[in-house]
Amino acid sequence: MASSPAFAGALKLAVDGTPRLDLTRDPKNPLAALPPQFAAKAKRVIYLHMAGAPSQLELFEYKPELVRLDGQDCPASLLAGKRFAFITGVPKLMGPQYPFHQVGESGHWISDRLPHLEKHLDELCFIKSMRTDQFNHAPAQLLVQTGNARLGYPSLGSWVVYGLGTENQNLPGFIVLISGGKTPDGGKQLWGTGFLPSVYQGVQCRSHGEPVLYLNSPKDVTVSERRSVLDAIDELNQQNYAEFGNPETVTRIAQYEMSFRMQMDATDAMDIHKESETTRAKYGSKPGESSFANNCLVARRLAERGVRFIQLYHWGWDSHGSNAGDSLNFGFVKRCQEVDQPIAALLSDLKDRGLLEDTLLVWGGEFGRTSMRENRSGQVTKFTGRDHHPGAFTMWMAGGGVKPGITHGQTDDLGYEIVKDPVEIRDLHATMLHILGFDHHKLNYSFQGLDQKLTSVKPARVVAEILA
C-alpha cells in the first residue's frame, strides 16, 4: 500500500509500452482537478440508480407480441439452461400491465406510468440491450456500480474523481443521496473506494437535518480555535506522511480540511429552503422529508456547484408480486409516482440552466425483469410481478456526450433476449469514461501487481453508436 504511489510515479509506462496517465498530485491536494485525457463531452455525472430493478416491460419496452401471448405457458426454449431467483416449473407469459403509447419526434414508446418524464423523451438516449451476469440484487448492484460483482473494488464515482479530481474543493467530489426507504442491498460498498486511496470514496449525505453529521463545530468553539486545532493535527499528520508515505495519511489530512471548508458550503448546497416555492412544487419536493424529489433538487444544486459525481439511489423496485409493496399493481405505481415528476423537473432545470450540455444523466436498475409472471413456489400470486432477469434490460442516458432521442439495441418479440447490439455493464462503463474524456484502458491504478481498471479484464467496447 505505502509503496504504490511512489512506484506509480516512477513507472510511467504501462505494460503495453504506451505512456501511462500521470495522475500524481500534490499530496496535500489529492482531490485537485486534473484535465481529462482528451476533450470531454461531459464534466459531471448524475446517476439515478433504481435499486431493486424496475420492470422495463412496464415502462419503456413495448412488446405487442407479449400482449398477444399474455397468459400462455412459457415455451420451454425460453427456460432451457436458465436460472431464476423464484420462478419454478413452467410460468405464464405476461403482457405489459399498463398501456403504452408513442411520444415525440423520436417516437419512443412509454407506458402511462411516467406522464411527466414523457415530455422529455426526445432528450433521452435509450439502451434497450443492457445485459448483466448477476441475478441477485447485491452482486448485480456491485457490478453496475463498481464493475465487479464482488466486494472490494472502487466505485464508478471513485474512479471518476480519481481521474478528474474536483474543482470545488469546498464540497466532496462524489456525493451519495439515498431517498429513505432502505440502503441498497449492495450496501455502502456501492460507493466505496476499494483499493483506491479512501479520499475518493463517495460521501453519503443525509437528506434531512444536517447533511453530514458533526460537521459544525461544537458549541462555544470558535472558527479560529477550530482552525488552530486542525493546524496542529495537520502538522503531526504531515510529519507522519513524510516518514511513512502512507496515502491514507494524506486522505485523513484532506478530510479534516474538507470538513472545515464544508461547514459553510455543504449546508448551503443541501438547503432546499433556498429554492423558491415554485421550484419545489415543480419537483414535488417537501423540505424535511427524505425523498427522491428532494434529492433530485439537491442534485441540481450540487451540479451547479461543480460536484463531479452525484449518485442517487431510489429503492423498492423489486416487483415480484409477493406482496402489495413489491408488486406491479401497487408498489410499482407508487415508485413511478415518486420518481416521475422529480426526474422530469431535474431534466427541465438542467436544460434551462444549460447544465445538460455538460452533465451526463444516467438512469437504470441493476438488471431487468422477466417476460413471465412470477409464480413463486409454483403458485399464482395474489399480486402481479416479474422475476429478476439479467438477460436484457433498459437504461437511458441524457445530456452531454450522448445522442438525444435515439434507441440503441433491441430485444426479441418477448423482450426476453437481446437480438441486436448487446451492451455489457463494462461497455456502459467504458462509454461513460469516454464521455468524461478517458480511454478506459488508461485510467489505471497499480494494485497487487496489476494495472487495475474499472472495466476489469474482459474486453469492453465503447458504445460509439450513442455518442454525440
**Interface contacts to another protein, rule CB under 8 A:** 18-19, 21, 29, 32-40, 76-78, 80-81, 165-171, 304-306, 351-354, 357-358, 410, 412, 416-422, 431, 434, 437, 439, 462-465, 467
Min dist CB 305 to another protein, Å, is: 6
Of the two residues 326 and 349, which places its CB atom closer to another protein in the complex?
A: 349
Of the two residues 206 and 420, which places its CB atom closer to another protein in the complex?
A: 420
State how far the alpha carbon of 265 is from the alpha carbons of 137, 305, 342, 384, in Å. Answer: 35, 10, 24, 46
- d(Cα 260, Cα 176) in Å, to the nearest integer? 19
Number of Cβ atoms within 10 Å of the Cβ of 322: 17
Of the two residues 33 and 230, which places its CB atom closer to another protein in the complex?
A: 33
Q: Which residues pair with 368 in a beta bridge?
A: 389
State how far the alpha carbon of 237 is from the alpha carbons of 2, 162, 227, 242, 247, in Å. Answer: 15, 22, 15, 9, 11
Min dist CB 123 to another protein, Å, is: 12
Of the two residues 296 and 443, which places its CB atom closer to another protein in the complex?
A: 443
Min dist CB 356 to another protein, Å, is: 10
Min dist CB 372 to another protein, Å, is: 13
Q: Let me know: does 388 contact 134? Beta carbons within 8 Å.
A: no
Min dist CB 218 to another protein, Å, is: 27
Min dist CB 68 to another protein, Å, is: 14
Min dist CB 422 to another protein, Å, is: 6
Q: Let me know: does 394 contact 127? Beta carbons within 8 Å.
A: yes
Of the two residues 167 and 234, which places its CB atom closer to another protein in the complex?
A: 167
Of the two residues 92 and 461, which places its CB atom closer to another protein in the complex?
A: 461
Of the two residues 226 and 351, which places its CB atom closer to another protein in the complex?
A: 351
List the one residue out of 308, 267, 312, 307 whose CA is nearest residue 294. Answer: 312
Q: Let me know: does 456 contact 148? Beta carbons within 8 Å.
A: yes
Min dist CB 13 to another protein, Å, is: 12
Of the two residues 21 and 312, which places its CB atom closer to another protein in the complex?
A: 21
Of the two residues 4 and 37, which places its CB atom closer to another protein in the complex?
A: 37
Of the two residues 35 and 187, which places its CB atom closer to another protein in the complex?
A: 35
Min dist CB 35 to another protein, Å, is: 5
Of the two residues 165 and 316, which places its CB atom closer to another protein in the complex?
A: 165
Min dist CB 285 to another protein, Å, is: 19
* Cell, residue 93: 407469459
Of the two residues 81 and 449, which places its CB atom closer to another protein in the complex?
A: 81
Min dist CB 58 to another protein, Å, is: 22
Min dist CB 352 to another protein, Å, is: 4
